[in-house]
Amino acid sequence: MKVKKSKSVPNADRGASRSWSFSDPESRRKRRVAGYKVYSVEQKMKGSIKKSFKWFKDIIGIS
């Protein structure tokens, strides 16, 4: 005996709610701000590595 599972929400309604959440201005802003934070962290890491190499070169006397 097979039992079919019924869907409580039709596919059309799910797609509409999903597309609304992606175009929601607040969620767009949150993703944009998160991207800025990632970029900021990357730049800090690059700067730190460059400073470390410069310090190391100065210590061992490489021009």
| pTM of the predicted protein model | 0.48
Kindly give, in sequence order, each residue whose CB lies less than 8 Å from that of residue 13, ignoring residues fewer than 6 positions away: none
Domain boundaries, the chain: 27-63
Instruction: Look up residue 35 and give its two tokens.
Output: 């991207």
* DSSP-assigned letter for residue 7: P
Residue 3 pLDDT class (50, 70, 90 cuts)? low
Per-residue pLDDT for 4 more than 70? Answer: no
**pLDDT, tens digit, 9 for 90 and up, residues 9-43:** 555 445 455 555 567 899 999 999 999 999 999 99
**Spatial distance between the Cα atoms of 10 and 19, rounded to a whole number of angstroms:** 15
Question: How much is the pLDDT for 44?
Answer: 95
Question: How much is the pLDDT for 23?
Answer: 78
**Spatial distance between the Cα atoms of 6 and 43, rounded to a whole number of angstroms:** 51
